[in-house]
């Protein structure tokens, strides 16, 4: 007889794992103890070798992969850590699991299309709309096959509706965001998209998140630089996509008012960019006591109660922190996970405030080291600035030799992104000739730049200039010099090698940032650097910064909290600032 411990270490609570621990405690004939501490789930059992092997097989089948799982292990132990007390669980909202999904979602199964079947493992039947049956789903599938598209809506809690519009062709989104795709045939994903193996695992994980990937080059239908992919994430979509898979449809474009969480690979783990609080309520977590009881940013309200930070959704609430303080909120949000408050820095490149690099010293005084340059709102204004300065000569050559890119620059409109990293990258993408029409928005241009840099296979790029400049007493990047340096490269680099230039933009910026953080270290002493903001969903940039900054400083990426959402709300609870 041996005492064996199975352990699952996660970067945030995984409610389904807690339920599984309780199920094993209640149902197993072996002497089981379970435990949970600091996001680590334990199951311990005494038994003979064959009994324990059978248990290991069962656990391997039941513990579906979570994107938040960092490490799992099986080892022989001498003393139990766990107890015979059930864990406190929160609802997991899992629609299906490895037991019921094959039964209701495989067209060869007798129960195919029976979306209401009860499952003793996940209880996914509780979140199913009873009025929808297999015939209804078959009609929707027929509509896709006959007309190319279908729209339907499913009721959600609190009188919300979950609207779906599925189409074989691209859907013209009103807000011109990145196109969304749902996969019908997971086996054929490599025929259409370039998906790294870790991203494939994430797609099929418990959380069914969205990941951002490139389409295959020269794909007949997929002409966008990047797409957000997801697998089916409810029982109705599971049946519908299976019906379509059998008819040879590998994927569909999808538009919906409630998206699955978008995740990105940062510093060897997954981080969530932001979430939809209506369908994915945020799990409370333990924290040190904050300075404020409550702080709402962008409708997501964080509050302190019973020694935990909790969240609710208050869409009409005004922000409790001014925009310029959000990078400091991101710094505090990083501290909540790393435990490093004093002597820390944060790089905020996101959608809610100007890009900044900020720090906190040993007296918890915060300071801004660098702000992103405030670019003119339009390309034509930028051209006027360049023509009047040191870049006049290279601009004239660029206009003469690469008129298409020059004209695209002349039509570029940045709007309110002009002091975000995404604004600077949209400008860079335009100079590289990645603009396809005058309708291109900042999102498209950023995606085009990322896709181009992903094409660079050998991780070597040209060195683009990101020199420092002082404007209005603030340290910033000399954007005109950067544009001049990029235009000079375009004049001498063959267009087939522009992938090295796109990669070089991100790698050079990462290298400059590494140098700046070293300068901050000399005055402030830096023990950790937090990466925050939605632009870190750019995995090339994240990767280069982790490599170059991470060489000398520990990198923090939020896992429990989001990159550009709950990290700001929770961080705002620690803001040293008088409020309203
Ligand atoms: Zn199930």
- Element containing residue 231 per DSSP (H, E): none
Distance in Å, CA 104 to ligand 1 centroid: 10
Distance in Å, CA 535 to ligand 1 centroid: 36
Distance in Å, CA 96 to ligand 1 centroid: 4
State pTM to two decimals: 0.95
Distance in Å, CA 22 to ligand 1 centroid: 16
First CA to last CA distance, the chain: 65
DSSP 349-398: --SSS--EEEEE-TT--EEEEEE-----SBHHHHHHHHHTSTTHHHHHHH
Distance in Å, CA 222 to ligand 1 centroid: 34
Distance in Å, CA 274 to ligand 1 centroid: 27
Distance in Å, CA 244 to ligand 1 centroid: 22
Continuous H helices in 193-286 = 197-203, 235-246
Distance in Å, CA 14 to ligand 1 centroid: 16
Distance in Å, CA 15 to ligand 1 centroid: 15
Distance in Å, CA 108 to ligand 1 centroid: 18
Sign, Cα dihedral of 329, 330, 336, 339: negative
pLDDT, residue 40, reads 97
pLDDT, residue 129, reads 77
pLDDT, residue 578, reads 65
Distance in Å, CA 94 to ligand 1 centroid: 8
Distance in Å, CA 273 to ligand 1 centroid: 28
Distance in Å, CA 101 to ligand 1 centroid: 6
Distance in Å, CA 35 to ligand 1 centroid: 23
Contacts of residue 531, Cβ cutoff 8 Å, sequence gap at least 6: 266, 267, 346, 347, 542, 545, 546, 555, 556, 557, 563
Distance in Å, CA 117 to ligand 1 centroid: 9
Distance in Å, CA 232 to ligand 1 centroid: 14
Distance in Å, CA 84 to ligand 1 centroid: 25
Distance in Å, CA 377 to ligand 1 centroid: 52
pLDDT, residue 150, reads 98
Tens of each residue's pLDDT in the chain, 580 residues: 999 999 999 999 999 999 999 999 998 889 999 999 999 999 999 999 999 999 999 999 999 999 999 999 999 999 999 999 999 988 888 999 999 999 999 999 999 999 999 999 999 998 887 789 999 999 999 999 999 999 999 988 778 899 999 999 999 766 678 999 999 999 999 999 999 999 999 999 999 999 999 999 999 999 999 999 999 999 999 999 999 999 999 999 999 999 999 999 999 999 999 888 888 888 888 899 999 999 999 999 999 999 999 999 999 999 999 999 999 999 999 999 999 889 999 999 999 999 999 999 999 999 999 999 999 999 999 999 999 999 999 999 999 999 999 999 999 999 889 999 999 999 999 999 999 886 779 999 999 999 999 999 888 999 999 999 999 999 999 999 999 999 999 999 999 999 999 999 999 999 999 999 999 999 999 999 999 999 999 999 999 999 999 999 999 999 999 999 999 999 999 999 766 5
Distance in Å, CA 133 to ligand 1 centroid: 18
Distance in Å, CA 73 to ligand 1 centroid: 24
Distance in Å, CA 453 to ligand 1 centroid: 41
Q: Would you give the DSSP letter of residue 83?
A: B
2-76: CATH topology is Alpha-Beta Plaits (3.30.70)
pLDDT, residue 140, reads 98
Beta strands in 170-250 (DSSP E): 180-183, 193-194, 211-215, 227-230
Distance in Å, CA 62 to ligand 1 centroid: 10
Residue of 516, 176, 137, 527 lying closest to 331 (CA atoms): 527
Distance in Å, CA 114 to ligand 1 centroid: 13
Distance in Å, CA 122 to ligand 1 centroid: 4
pLDDT, residue 278, reads 82
Identify how many contiguous H helices and E strands the chain contains and give both numbers. 17, 24
* 493 vs 496: CA distance, rounded Å: 8
List, by residue range, all CATH 3.30.70.100 domains of the chain.
Answer: 2-76
Instruction: State the helix-helix crossing angle for 442-454 and 421-431, rounded to 10 degrees.
Output: 70
Distance in Å, CA 557 to ligand 1 centroid: 32
Distance in Å, CA 60 to ligand 1 centroid: 15
Distance in Å, CA 121 to ligand 1 centroid: 5
3-state secondary structure at position 246 = helix
Cβ neighbourhood burial of 144 (10 Å; 0-12, 13-18, 19+): buried
Distance in Å, CA 120 to ligand 1 centroid: 7
Distance in Å, CA 462 to ligand 1 centroid: 51
Distance in Å, CA 123 to ligand 1 centroid: 6
Distance in Å, CA 331 to ligand 1 centroid: 40
- Residue 35 pairs in a beta bridge with 42
Distance in Å, CA 102 to ligand 1 centroid: 9
């Amino acid at each position: 007889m041996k005492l064996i411990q199975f352990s699952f270490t996660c970067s945030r609570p995984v409610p389904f794992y807690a339920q599984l621990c309780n199920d094993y405690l209640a149902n197993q004939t072996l002497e089981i103890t379970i435990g949970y501490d600091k996001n680590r789930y334990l199951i311990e059992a005494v038994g003979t070798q064959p009994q324990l092997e059978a248990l290991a097989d069962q656990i391997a089948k039941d513990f579906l992969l979570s994107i938040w799982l960092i490490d799992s292990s099986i080892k022989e132990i001498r003393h139990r850590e766990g107890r015979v007390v059930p864990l406190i669980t929160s609802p997991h909202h899992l629609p299906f699991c490895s037991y019921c999904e094959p039964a209701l979602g495989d067209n060869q199964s007798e129960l195919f299309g029976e979306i209401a079947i009860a499952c003793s493992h996940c209880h996914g039947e509780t979140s199913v709309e009873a009025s929808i049956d297999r015939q209804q789903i078959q009609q929707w599938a027929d509509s896709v096959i006959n007309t190319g598209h279908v729209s339907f809506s499913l009721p959600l809690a609190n009188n919300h509706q979950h609207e779906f519009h599925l189409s074989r062709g691209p859907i013209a989104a009103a807000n011109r965001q990145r196109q969304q795709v749902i996969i019908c045939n997971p086996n054929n994903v490599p025929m259409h998209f370039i998906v790294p193996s870790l991203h494939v695992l994430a797609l099929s994980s418990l959380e069914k998140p969205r990941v951002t990937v490139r389409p295959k080059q020269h794909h007949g239908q997929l002409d966008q630089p990047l797409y957000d992919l997801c697998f089916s994430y409810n029982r109705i979509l599971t049946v519908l996509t299976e019906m379509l898979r059998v008819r040879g449809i590998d994927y569909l474009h999808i538009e919906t008012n409630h998206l699955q969480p978008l995740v990105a690979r940062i510093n060897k783990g997954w981080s969530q960019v932001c979430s939809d609080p209506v369908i994915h309520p945020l799990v409370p977590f333990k924290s040190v006591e904050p300075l404020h009881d409550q702080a709402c940013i962008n409708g997501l309200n964080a509050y302190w109660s019973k020694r935990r930070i909790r969240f609710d959704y208050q869409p009409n609430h005004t922000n409790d922190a001014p925009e310029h303080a959000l990078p400091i909120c991101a710094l505090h949000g990083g501290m909540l996970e790393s435990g490093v408050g004093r002597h820390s820095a944060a790089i905020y490149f996101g959608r809610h405030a100007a890009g900044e690099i900020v720090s906190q010293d040993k007296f918890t005084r915060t300071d801004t080291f660098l702000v992103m340059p405030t670019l003119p709102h339009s390309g034509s204004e930028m051209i006027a600035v360049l023509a009047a300065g040191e870049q006049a000569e290279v601009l004239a050559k660029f206009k003469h030799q690469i008129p298409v890119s020059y004209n695209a620059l002349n039509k570029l409109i940045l709007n309110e992104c002009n002091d975000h990293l995404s604004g600077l990258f949209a400008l860079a993408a335009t100079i590289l000739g990645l603009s396809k029409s005058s309708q291109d928005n900042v999102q498209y241009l950023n995606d085009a730049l990322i896709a181009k840099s992903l094409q660079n296979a050998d991780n070597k790029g040209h060195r683009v200039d990101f020199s420092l400049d002082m404007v209005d007493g603030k340290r910033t990047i000399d954007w005109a010099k950067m544009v001049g340096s990029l235009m000079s490269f375009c004049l001498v680099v063959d267009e087939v090698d522009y992938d090295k230039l796109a990669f070089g933009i991100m790698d050079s910026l990462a290298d400059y940032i590494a140098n700046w953080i070293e300068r901050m270290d000399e005055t402030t002493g830096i023990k950790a650097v937090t990466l925050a903001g939605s632009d870190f969903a750019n995995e090339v940039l994240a990767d280069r910064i982790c490599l170059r900054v991470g060489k000398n400083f520990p990198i923090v990426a939020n896992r429990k909290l989001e990159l550009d959402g709950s990290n700001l709300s929770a961080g705002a609870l620690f803001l040293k600032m008088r409020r309203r």
